[in-house]
Structure 1
């Protein structure tokens, strides 16, 4: 199969060709490998090849919605037994860490028939909104390789947008599906708390704020893969009611008239680009043309307080992750990035009382969103504050790095996160991506829909947040928007 034909299909489309015996999975794999060989040196999306594994799977009698479809997994909590997993970190890379078991999410993807041939680039432990790990290097954006693909699922997003695969594994703990979806012009859905599994190594991640799913070119691929993976397992701490009908079936019906509240204001008072505002206004007009009611409104939530609570949880959880990695690998500080060491230093000084106070605030934010959804069916906000930043643009200033090095040596780096400086740290960390943490903290499903490209042909997603458990509402609307303003043909514009 020629790439020009391959790129016209989404995952379900390719699976249909396989089912009809129009093409063999091995032929699809060969096309994907050839495309990867052509463009990955420019993008650096795939970091760990698994060609032998894929060759073997492509010869099996595969079943499922995506039987025979080439696939990539993120190099973060999506382990495959017998193959390296680095979490984007030099520490794991140097230790040549090999996974001993499959992650449950991988088991469910494989039951759906996918053929995995590699792992994708991610920032160290997924802690950043850009993918520039020291372990693997920068992951570039197919729309313009001078720009970043976003994070933390940046490698997956870059590979899908470039046409290497029609869908790829992703995860979202603070926007890590929706951010790269926005930057790379893809569809990205973060499921509700508890919708997809974390076993066998974890029962949940960050109190259910982090969820795993996929990045896709089409809405129906996301719906079908959620059908294949949704539901708890023996290790799950959270359980969620299954939909009455499959998501793939649900999206065939148009949504009812929806009342949608929207905002373009940054919840932390940082700058929002003209592109982000234009994207939301464009989407609002599109929604109105479809008969939906769109009203400027926002929930009664102090965005800065929510951001501080998110950062407190994020840093504290990461301090634990880094310490576990040190113990597991017998690693030294030199094995980790300076920014990672600094975040862990901030987090490890959080007291138990501070942490519980912060966690209790999560319930308040969820309550306010529940009240908001008594009046509105969905909440529309930008996915990101701007189009993708240039490579190297989002980084710790040199002066701050020197200061951090000195403070880390004397175990005083946490001082930077005290008093009024914490607000500065929050804004510095989240100014590019201030809109996504709301859905993680509250456990609500949210999606980024690619409906806007600026004059330089850089995309920026429109984000919708729904009531808990209402992925059906999101997917229905996304499918309607996709039919009204199709975006699949846009990927033909990418020249690499």
Structure 2
């Protein structure tokens, strides 16, 4: 199988070829390896490969498995493979190896996916960009000078760049939807607890983090969710295995009541300004939904963005402080000597000084917002909003400046972190960190499913996704609508494949 032919199919398309005997899984895997070897040096999407092990695992795949030996990539964060490196995007974890497979990895193999390697993520998945100090920075295949987003930026670059038809990703504050928007892909964040994180963790960030994938097609996302969903032993979320996500694509959704918003209650308190192309993407998407027969009404969600950002960052600080202790335990290196990026170390110090009452108060606010959004969804089936305030930013534009890092380094002074919290540094951090992406954390805090759908491309060739949120458990509705939109737009036909090597290398 030639690489050009391999790139013409999504995951289920390749699986169908394998089942019909038109191509072997070995030929498909060889084409994927050739694509990675040829294009990843310029893309920077894959941090390590495991081709030989994947070949052995591929021979054991049942031909009737949903993906029948289709290659994929996992994220260098949370997705553990027994005995193999998992660095969490950090030099501090560069030599760490997992003692057992994660439940998600086992289910990927049962579904017939072969894991060829791991994709780049920012340190500990903390940013909406993917520019770790310890690893290469992935480029956006549409415009190589621009970021693919984060924290699943490596996964997005790999799929949009044609290395694999789907790549595993995670979303704790928009980390599936932001890269999907910037790279013209479909990205679904499932409901809280839908996909297990065990056995290494029961939950991450109080359940805000959910694992799934970035895909070219809606059907690959739906079929994957059929295969990997459902609690595992020790899960704090009693969500049994469900089926019917792929089947939901077989018929268009009923006429839906859709609220449309530019997300001003979320962005305005942080100083967010929408790019005109993002406004255009939302407006055009609303008109497209209306033309399909859905009822639209311009209504803002009943959420105060400043309080939402504060509560999100409060738990973010607390969890980072705990994560650094866990890394210290795993590596045997004291927290103070871990090889961390300056901003990670500074935020960890803030988290260490965070009063327990503030942490609990923030979590209670999450619950309040969830109740408010449940009431909102009694009026509306879905909420349409932007994913990010702009198309993909230039690489390096959103990474903390050196001056900011030097300022954060002052938190090492005894007592400085306590003073910084009292002086309102948390609010400044919220504004600085979330100003460009204030719209995605809502679904993580409430637990409801959300997706980024690639419905717009700017005149200069940058994709812009729009976000749709459903009430808890509403993945089937989202997927059915996404399939309806995909049939109208056929976005996968316009992905930047094959990559123009000279352009990517600039």
**Same fold by TM-score, threshold 0.5 exceeded?**
yes
CA distance change for structure 1 residues 5 and 91 in 2, over 3 Å: closer, same or farther?
same
Counterpart of 1:319?
321
Counterpart of 2:86?
85
Counterpart of 2:244?
246
| Contact 2:188/2:212 (8 A) holds in 1 | yes
| Contact 1:378/1:467 (8 A) holds in 2 | yes
| Contact 2:15/2:69 (8 A) holds in 1 | yes
| Contact 1:79/1:85 (8 A) holds in 2 | yes
Q: Which moved more, 1:485-494 or 1:319-328?
A: 485-494
Counterpart of 1:489?
493
Q: TM-score, normalised by structure 1?
A: 0.97
- Name the CA distance, whole Å, in 1 between partners of 2:241 and 2:102: 21
CA distance change for structure 1 residues 334 and 197 in 2, over 3 Å: closer, same or farther?
closer
| Contact 2:66/2:111 (8 A) holds in 1 | yes
- Name the CA distance, whole Å, in 1 between partners of 2:496 and 2:90: 34
| Contact 1:265/1:272 (8 A) holds in 2 | no
Cα offset, 1:450, TM superposition: 0.6
User: Deviations along 1:308-330, whole A, 9 cap, x unmatched?
Assistant: 10010111111100121122212
Q: How many residues align?
A: 493
- Name the CA distance, whole Å, in 2 between partners of 1:452 and 1:100: 43
Counterpart of 2:359?
355
Structure 2: gaps spanning 5 or more residues: 502-506
- Name the CA distance, whole Å, in 1 between partners of 2:225 and 2:20: 24
| Contact 1:177/1:215 (8 A) holds in 2 | yes
Counterpart of 2:132?
133
Q: Does 1:258 align with 2:263?
A: no
| Contact 2:82/2:100 (8 A) holds in 1 | yes
- Name the CA distance, whole Å, in 2 between partners of 1:379 and 1:319: 34
- Name the CA distance, whole Å, in 2 between partners of 1:414 and 1:40: 44
Cα offset, 1:414, TM superposition: 5.0
Counterpart of 2:58?
58
User: Deviations along 1:320-362, whole A, 9 cap, x unmatched?
Assistant: 0012112221235351111111111121111111111111111
User: Deviations along 1:82-122, whole A, 9 cap, x unmatched?
Assistant: 211100000111xx112110010111111000111111000
**What is the SS of the residue equivalent to 2:315?**
helix
- Name the CA distance, whole Å, in 1 between partners of 2:230 and 2:247: 17
| Contact 1:219/1:475 (8 A) holds in 2 | yes
| Contact 1:15/1:67 (8 A) holds in 2 | yes
User: Deviations along 1:266-313, whole A, 9 cap, x unmatched?
Assistant: 413111111211111110011011001111112221111011100101
Q: 1:474 aligns with which of 469, 472, 478?
A: 478
| Contact 1:202/1:235 (8 A) holds in 2 | no
Cα offset, 1:411, TM superposition: 5.3
Please report the RMSD computed on the Cα atoms of aligned residues, expressed in angstroms.
Answer: 1.4
- Name the CA distance, whole Å, in 2 between partners of 1:321 and 1:23: 45
Counterpart of 2:504?
none
Q: TM-score, normalised by structure 2?
A: 0.95
**What is the SS of the residue equivalent to 1:255?**
coil
Q: Does 1:205 align with 2:204?
A: yes
| Contact 2:255/2:294 (8 A) holds in 1 | yes
Counterpart of 1:330?
332
| Contact 1:240/1:469 (8 A) holds in 2 | no
- Name the CA distance, whole Å, in 2 between partners of 1:415 and 1:19: 63
Cα offset, 1:483, TM superposition: 0.4
- Name the CA distance, whole Å, in 2 between partners of 1:382 and 1:312: 24
- Name the CA distance, whole Å, in 1 between partners of 2:61 and 2:207: 35
- Name the CA distance, whole Å, in 1 between partners of 2:437 and 2:415: 29
User: Deviations along 1:34-69, whole A, 9 cap, x unmatched?
Assistant: 111111111110001111111212323434101110
| Contact 1:316/1:348 (8 A) holds in 2 | yes
* Aligned pairs (5 A) from 1:392-403: 392-403=396-407
Q: 1:460 aligns with which of 454, 464, 482?
A: 464
- Name the CA distance, whole Å, in 1 between partners of 2:162 and 2:415: 46
Counterpart of 2:273?
271
Q: 1:412 aligns with which of 416, 419, 434?
A: 416
| Contact 2:261/2:301 (8 A) holds in 1 | no
User: Deviations along 1:373-421, whole A, 9 cap, x unmatched?
Assistant: 1110000101111111111101222222222223324452453343444
CA distance change for structure 1 residues 390 and 21 in 2, over 3 Å: closer, same or farther?
same
Q: 1:302 aligns with which of 296, 301, 304?
A: 304
* Aligned pairs (5 A) from 1:171-250: 171-240=170-239, 243=242, 246-250=244-248
- Name the CA distance, whole Å, in 2 between partners of 1:127 and 1:71: 23
- Name the CA distance, whole Å, in 2 between partners of 1:38 and 1:409: 48
Structure 1: gaps spanning 5 or more residues: none
Cα offset, 1:212, TM superposition: 0.5
**What is the SS of the residue equivalent to 2:187?**
strand
Q: Does 1:341 align with 2:345?
A: yes
Cα offset, 1:242, TM superposition: 5.2
- Name the CA distance, whole Å, in 1 between partners of 2:122 and 2:44: 12
